């Protein structure tokens, strides 16, 4: 992520899923609505459906790219409390992902407060 000196507050509306989580992590102060929902899941890659065959080397390359993306996400989620890192790592391994609410997001360190808490 780019570093900047400006103080940025990010407010989550109803949902914060997929790439929106990266935007959330860019904020110094992270707030959400009381009924917000969050989701962390494994990065994915769209295979070209017109391509009927992929070689083992191509599939390994794609797998390596996905692993690098997961590592990048973990690096950018530096606000996550160390004791909750296993939860995030497990979510990043799951294509179904982990869906959770405001209290879990607070516990993980993703948000500081809801907008009504200030």
The total number of structural domains that make up the chain: 1
- pLDDT tens profile 99-114: 899 999 998 888 999 9
In a domain, 72, yes or no: yes
**CA dist list (Å): 9 to 25, 26, 33, 64, 67:** 10, 9, 13, 34, 30
The whole-angstrom separation of Cα 54 and Cα 15 is 35
Instruction: Tell me the pLDDT of the chain averaged across its residues.
Output: 80
Find the domain containing 92 and state its range. Answer: 9-43+56-114
pTM value > 0.75: no
CATH of the domain at 36: 3.90.226.10
The whole-angstrom separation of Cα 77 and Cα 50 is 35
């Amino acid at each position: 992520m780019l570093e900047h000196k400006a103080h940025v507050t990010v407010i989550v509306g109803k949902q914060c899923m997929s790439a929106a989580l990266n935007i959330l992590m860019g904020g110094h102060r992270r707030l959400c609505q009381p009924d917000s929902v969050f989701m962390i899941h494994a990065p994915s890659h769209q295979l070209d459906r017109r391509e009927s065959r992929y070689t083992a080397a191509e599939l390994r390359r794609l797998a390596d790219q996905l692993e690098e993306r997961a590592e990048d996400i973990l690096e950018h989620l530096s606000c996550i409390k160390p004791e909750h890192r296993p939860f995030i790592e497990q979510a990043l391994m799951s294509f179904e992902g982990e869906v959770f609410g405001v209290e879990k997001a607070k516990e993980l360190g993703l948000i500081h407060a809801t907008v009504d808490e200030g």
